[in-house]
Amino acid sequence: MKDYKFVTIWRVKAPLESVWNEIYHAKEWPTWWKGVENVVELRRGDEKGVGTLHRYTWKSKLPYRLSFDMETVRIEAPRLLEGIAKGELQGRGVWQLSTENGETIVRYDWNVETTKQWMNLLSPIARPLFEWNHNVVMSWGAQGLAQRLGASVVEQKT
Q: What is the pLDDT, as a whole number, of residue 2?
A: 83
Q: What is the pLDDT, as a whole number, of residue 138?
A: 96
Tens-of-pLDDT digits for all 158 residues of the chain?
689 999 999 999 999 999 999 999 999 999 999 999 999 999 999 999 999 999 999 999 999 999 999 999 999 999 999 999 999 999 999 999 999 999 999 999 999 999 999 999 999 999 999 999 999 999 999 999 999 999 999 877 87
The three state secondary structure string of the chain is CEEEEEEEEEEECCCHHHHHHHHHCHHHHHHHCCCEEEEEEEECCCCCCCCCEEEEEEECCCCCEEEEEEEEEEEECCCEEEEEEEECEEEEEEEEEEEECCEEEEEEEEEEEECCHHHHHHHHHHHHHHHHHHHHHHHHHHHHHHHHHCCCEEEEEC
Q: What is the pLDDT, as a whole number, of residue 156?
A: 77
pTM: 0.95
Q: What is the pLDDT, as a whole number, of residue 115?
A: 95
Where residue 74 sits, what CATH number does that domain have?
A: 3.30.530.20
Q: What is the pLDDT, as a whole number, of residue 35?
A: 97
CA–CA separation, 91 vs 73, rounded Å? 12
Domain count, the chain: 1
Task: Judge if the upstream peptide bond of residue 78 is cis by omega within 30 degrees of 0.
Answer: yes
Q: What is the pLDDT, as a whole number, of residue 157?
A: 82
Q: What is the pLDDT, as a whole number, of residue 120?
A: 92
CA–CA separation, 62 vs 41, rounded Å? 26
For 100-133, b/e burial (b = at least 16 CB within 10 A) is: eeebbbbebbbebebbeeebeeebeebeeebeeb
Residue 38 belongs to domain spanning: 2-157
